[in-house]
Amino acid sequence: MTHPLLRAEKFPYRDNSLNLFRLILAFLVLFAHAFYIVGRSDSPGFNGENLGGWAVIGFFVLSGFLITRSRFRSDAGTFLLHRIARILPAFVVCLLVTAFVFAPVALLLTKGTFDGFLTTGPTPLEYVWGNLFLHIDQYQIGESLATVPYPNAWNGSLWTLYFEFLCYLVVWLLGGLAIYRRSIALVASLWLVSVALRATVALGHTGGLDEDFSLFVRLVPYFLGGSLMYLFVERRGIVPLAGILAIPAAAALMVFVPVLGGPLAAPLLGYALLYLSTIIPQPSWIAHNDVSYGFYIYAWPVQQLVLILGGARWGLAVYIVITTAVTFALGWLSWVLVERHFIRLVRGPRDRERESVESTSSVPTSAETTTGT
């Protein structure tokens, strides 16, 4: 009889705690950024990356896993529509809220007047338009953040979304190839190529391409590492002992191997997180509500505004508690009022009927909802 630690189990897509893990990762981004926003330079981290950077890496690994599953279960048009609906509406609302709520309040508190709000560049409209298509070209809005320790940056987290969407497009294109769907070796080879590109860029060889290329090369190995884990887990399932061993193996690479430790650890990190999501429970209200995306996109502007309001006067720990509570509230509103509605809007009647039937026998997690399937 096979020992329980060696018994492979199918990954429970509708009964896992990936929502909880993504929310924890989003909090780690807020935590890391808090140090910089209050004017400190000692944000904790390891191996040349702060905790926020490692949390983003975790996001990309899990996203690679879930988005690859979504592509394999959807036709090209449906997949792309779902991805746009999942990422863009809440992003645009965040831009509008930042430009026309957060920024004027900050200007009033720091300058005592709204004078020049609509005319001093970059204006609120320039901020929204300049960032509307995910590529962040404008970080400031007039003089609304001219006096804070981290000046003229209303959202230092949004830049990753452009590269996240580029990774979606990579899977969108590759997912149309039958060999990509069948061959673990091919996906593993693409991941290894991405790691090699990361090493090349780290050595300063960019081929004359711009910073966007370097940033994409920096992040795509994590996404492809998660994609590789999807194919592996679909065929082999989750083996508890392998999941247990993947945790220290990924940690060792991430902590001790410079530059390439993270990219090389990506598949192991994905496997470890997937395994942990099967044994660590999450509250049902988190299972039904994916607040992590809203939390991520609102954290930085909340931190800037709370700082202006004096929220850091009681120390960093209290500041982090306050900003976490406010950010979670906005993330919840983003999910309830924006994200959830657009997800449902783009789903066809067949998807809604299937979800209704499945909900009578199992509890759907928003981690599955996030895949757009």
Ordered per-residue pLDDT tens for the chain, 373 residues:
788 898 999 999 999 999 999 999 999 999 999 999 999 999 999 999 999 999 999 999 999 999 999 999 999 999 999 999 999 999 999 999 999 999 999 999 999 999 999 999 999 999 999 999 999 999 999 999 999 999 999 999 999 999 999 999 999 999 999 999 889 999 999 999 999 999 999 888 777 778 899 999 999 999 999 999 999 999 999 999 999 999 999 999 999 999 999 999 999 999 999 999 999 999 999 999 999 999 999 999 999 999 999 999 999 999 999 999 999 999 999 999 999 999 999 986 655 544 443 333 333 334 444 443 3
- Dist CA 343 CA 285 (whole Å): 18
| Helix, strand, or coil (residue 9) | strand
Residue 111 included in any domain: yes
Residue 10 included in any domain: no
Instruction: Please tell me the predicted confidence (pLDDT) of residue 351.
Output: 58
| Helix, strand, or coil (residue 31) | helix
Residue 210 included in any domain: yes
Decide: 94 and 298 in contact? Cβ < 8 Å.
Answer: yes
Instruction: Please tell me the predicted confidence (pLDDT) of residue 366.
Output: 41
Residue 337 included in any domain: yes
Residue 150 included in any domain: yes
Residue 48 included in any domain: yes
| Helix, strand, or coil (residue 50) | strand
- What predicted TM-score, i.e. pTM, was given to this entire model? 0.93
Residue 105 included in any domain: yes
Looking at the structure of the chain, the number of domains it has is: 1
Q: How far is CA 93 from CA 99, 111, 331, in A?
A: 10, 26, 12
Instruction: Please tell me the predicted confidence (pLDDT) of residue 363.
Output: 35
Instruction: Please tell me the predicted confidence (pLDDT) of residue 122.
Output: 96
- Dist CA 161 CA 42 (whole Å): 26
Instruction: Please tell me the predicted confidence (pLDDT) of residue 350.
Output: 57
Instruction: Please tell me the predicted confidence (pLDDT) of residue 210.
Output: 82
Residue 12 included in any domain: no
Domain of residue 64 covers: 18-370
- Dist CA 154 CA 330 (whole Å): 16
Name the one residue in this structure whose structure tokens are 């991405």.
Answer: 194
